[in-house]
Copies of this chain bind each other. A is one copy, B any other.
Amino acid sequence: MSPSGRAPRQLHLNINALHSGFVPSAWRLADADPRAFLDVNHYVRIAQIAERACLDAIFLADNAAIADQLDFRPITALEPTLLLASVAAATTHLGLIATASTSYNEPYNLARRFATLDLISGGRAGWNIVTTADLPSARNFGLDAVPDHAQRYARADEFAALVKTLWNSWEDGAFIGDKEAGRFVDMARVHAAAHRGRFFAVQGALNLPRSRQGHPVLVQAGASGDGRELAARHAEAVFSASQSFDEARAYRDDLNARAARHGRGPNAVKVLAGLTTIIGATEAEALRRRDELVDLIPWSYSLNRLAGILGVSVDTLSLDERLPDDLPPPGNGNGNHTFFNATLAQARAHGYTVRELVRALAGGGGHRVIVGTPEQIADDIAHWFERGAADGFNLMPDALPGGLEAFTEGVVPILQRRGIFRREYDGTTLREHLGLAIPADGRAVLQHEYA
């Protein structure tokens, strides 16, 4: 308790369980199993470490294609809703957030899979809404090109609204189960979606009632204008890729203002910033670990990736020379639009070589990296959290499960001593962990907006 007698606002922490970890060479560490990306027990171990530390949730990204250089590194492979259904059986409190695409699924199927995960986990499910921007995925679903940004987001908006309608098909009292009277469900309290929109027509009700938390938590990672609008309308938690404190605070303020314009309350959306950590007992040890990890990434892989994000040809980059002066403006590359800006500015200011820049980025895909001691990381987290740049963090450790263990053993106890992170779970559902209300039951009548 704080001196005022009120419990301070609490931080939220998810573990983003990307196969062997966020540095692309993590699978090459001495204690790593290269097959971890295919091993359900790897994910169960990560989930159990997270649950012992009272983290809010495990999060799984997704990609319905081979969308990275599999010759050099693991990819997102096992389908995340099934993987989390298995993880659910080995955990009791941890939230379970899976990514699924609105561009390459049917709303009825997706609503059902997540409602199933929510019921079998006792109300711990979350859906991370993505629109899937890569070409290999589009080509696995009958398309020759990626649908344009505006169309993907228009479809995602209708999709998310329809999924909520389906999740709310059953009023909470609809199930009767009266053996004596022989009455099973009160069909007057089960409502057909009766949706006819621009992208979808779904007539019936979902064949599942709501869970202990109402329905799964909606999660999103909206960076673009369309993405922020989608998040402001539907998301209850948002993953941001903000690189700097100022950028993060501006993003969170913008998102809350947009949510307010859609009539949503001040705490309706929790903003969790992506954060890669590389932890050492001293800062020097952490930096050594970073450089060892980065140097285990084949340089051809790192250079291709850097070139792709910078939007330049790989031929223009030379490891031991400085960056070319004539880079295209930020945002022209393949990455998230907030990618790299801070580190790139730092590289410019200090005259980094390409090799030094790659090391400073820790081989990462554009999220912020902190390299340091548990105290340094806890200070940084507390600063962002207490000064309004984030409601929490989506943890992206260098290596898994080792980098998560270093975090839960080193950083979490410091955050607990500061009173900003739970020592035990108050509830059993993901909504309870995140401090989100149970949505009202009954049918959400949203269809007319999409007709």
Contact = CB atoms under 8 A, between A and B. Distances in A.
Interface of A: 25, 27-28, 32, 34-35, 38, 40, 44, 63-66, 70-79, 81-83, 85-86, 88-90, 104-106, 108-109, 112-113, 116-117, 119-120, 136, 139-143, 175, 177-179, 182-187, 190, 200-205, 207-209, 296, 298
Contacts of A296: 182
Contact of A78 (B40, B104, B201, B208): B208
A207 B76 contact: yes
A121 to B, nearest CB: 9
Contacts of A204: 65-66, 136, 139-140
A72 B142 contact: no
Of A75, A177, A186, the most chain B CB neighbours within 10 A belong to A177
B83 A120 contact: yes
Given A140-B108, A204-B66, A205-B66, A177 B78 contact: no
A412 B117 CA distance: 34
Given A66-B204, A208-B77, A179 B28 contact: yes
Contacts of A201: 139, 142-143
- How many copies make up the complex? 2
Nearest to A38: B119
Contact of A90 (B72, B73, B89, B207): B89
Contact of A182 (B28, B117, B179, B208): B28
Given A200-B142, A204-B66, A83 B184 contact: no
A37 to B, nearest CB: 9
Nearest to A199: B142
A64 B112 CA distance: 8
A140 B202 CA distance: 4
10 contacts: A27-B177, A27-B184, A28-B182, A38-B119, A64-B109, A64-B207, A71-B183, A76-B207, A77-B207, A79-B109
A82 B120 contact: yes
A35 B108 contact: no
Nearest to A43: B120
Contacts of A72: 182-184
B190 A66 contact: yes
Contact of A86 (B79, B88, B105): B88
- Enumerate the 3 nearest inter-chain pairs by beta-carbon distance, A residue then B residue, closest first: A34-B177, A139-B203, A89-B89
Given A65-B108, A79-B113, A82-B82, 16 more contacts: A27-B177, A27-B179, A28-B179, A44-B89, A65-B207, A66-B205, A70-B187, A71-B187, A78-B116, A79-B109, A82-B85, A85-B85, A86-B86, A108-B140, A136-B203, A140-B203
Contacts of A105: 106, 109
A28 B186 CA distance: 16
A178 to B, nearest CB: 8
Nearest to A28: B179
A1 B376 CA distance: 70
B116 A74 contact: no
Nearest to A296: B182
Contacts of A77: 207-208
Nearest to A88: B86
B70 A120 contact: no
Contacts of A298: 182
Contacts of A179: 27-28, 32, 34
A65 to B, nearest CB: 5
A211 to B, nearest CB: 9
Given A63-B207, A190-B66, A116 B82 contact: yes
